[in-house]
Amino acid sequence: MDNTDKYLLNYKGYNFVSAVVNDSDFLENIEDFEIRDDDVFIITYPKSGTIWTQQILSLIYSEGHRNGTENLQTIDIVPFFEYNIRKVDFLKRPSPRLFVSHLTYNLVPKGLMNKKAKYVPQPREKKIIYVYRNPKDVLTSYFHFSNLVVIFEAMNNIEELLEKFLDGKVVGGLWFDHVRGWYEHRHDFNILFMMYEEMKKDLRSSVLKISSFLEKELSEEDVETIVKQATFQNMKSDPRANSDDIINNDLGRRTNEGRFLRKGTVGDWKCHLTVEQNERFDKVFQRKMRDVPLKFIWDLNEG
C-alpha cells in the first residue's frame, strides 16, 4: 500500500482518495468481504453518474424515499463500499444491501463473481449495475470537482488534469483500464451496463431497464414518481440526494462557489478542451478502446 502521495493512496495499482480511506484493514480484506445473494452494487468510474444512480436505486427500493416519509440521504440507503464515511457495520445491514463503488473488477469481493464456468443468471442473485460516461465529460466534471473539494488535488487548468488523467494518476486510476476491465470480465458477473448519456436521453426507459434487471416490480405511478425525482434539477434541489451536506461535513470545501451536482449535461467538454487537447485525447481513446464495442455518445446538443 503506497501512501506517498498526499491525495492518492495506491493499493494494488488502484488510486483511492487518501483522506477518505479510514480503514486500511478493510481494504486489505476487501476481496474476502462476505457477499449475500441479494446484494446490489452500483459500479462507476468517478464522475460518471454515481450519485444519480444512487438516487434511482434509493427510489426503486424505498417507498419512504419515493413518498417523502423517510428522511434519509441516498448515501445512507446506498453507502459507498470502500469509503465508509458513516462508519457503518455493513455486516449488520439488513438485506437487500445496496452499495456503490468505484472499484476495478479485480478488487471487488470475490463473492460477487459467478461460481459457474458458463454463467446463466439466476433469479434474485447478486447484481452489479455498471454506469459509464464519455470520458471527456468525466474529465471535465473531475476538473471542477477537484477544485471544489479539499481532499482532491486542485488543478490550475484542464491541461494539467489531462496529463494526469491520461496517465491514470487520478482517483480511480486509468479510465480506460476501468471500463475495459469491467467490460472484458462481464461474463464473470451478473452485470448490467448503463450508459450515462442514454439515461439522459430517456430516463424513463432507463428506470424500467434497471428495475427489470433488479426484478423489482413497480406500478406506473411509482415509475413516474421515480423519473420525476431523479431528474437532475429535482436532485439538485433535494438535500437527500444532492450530496452538498457530504462536501460540507465530510470532504471539505475549497471554495463556496460550486455544488456537488454541477451541470449533469452531455458535451460540456467542448467548452473546456482545445482542438489540440481534443485530438490528443481522441488518439489515446482510439488506441485503447478500438476493440471495445461499447457505444459512446459525445454530445446531445442540449443547448
Annotated catalytic, 65? no
- 85 by DSSP, 3-state: which? coil
C-alpha cell at 235: 436532485
Which residues make beta-bridge pairs with 98? Answer: 40
> Regarding beta strands 191-195 and 127-132, do their DSSP bridges make them parallel or antiparallel, or are they unpaired?
parallel
The answer to whether 197 and 300 have CB atoms below 8 angstroms apart is yes
With CA atoms as reference, report the closest residue to 261 among 136, 119, 148: 148
Q: Rounded CA gap, 168 and 175, in Å? A: 7
Q: How far is CA 181 from the centre of its chain?
A: 15
**9: nearest Cα among 28, 32, 34:** 28
Phi, psi of 178 (to 5 degrees): -65, -55
- Cβ-count burial of 31 within 10 angstroms (0-12 exposed, 13-18 middle, 19+ buried)? middle
**Kind plus residue range of the DSSP H or E element containing 41:** strand 40-44
Q: Which of 65, 102, 178, 272 is catalytic?
A: 102
Contact in structure between 277 and 159 (CB atoms under 8 Å): yes
Catalytic residue ranges: 102
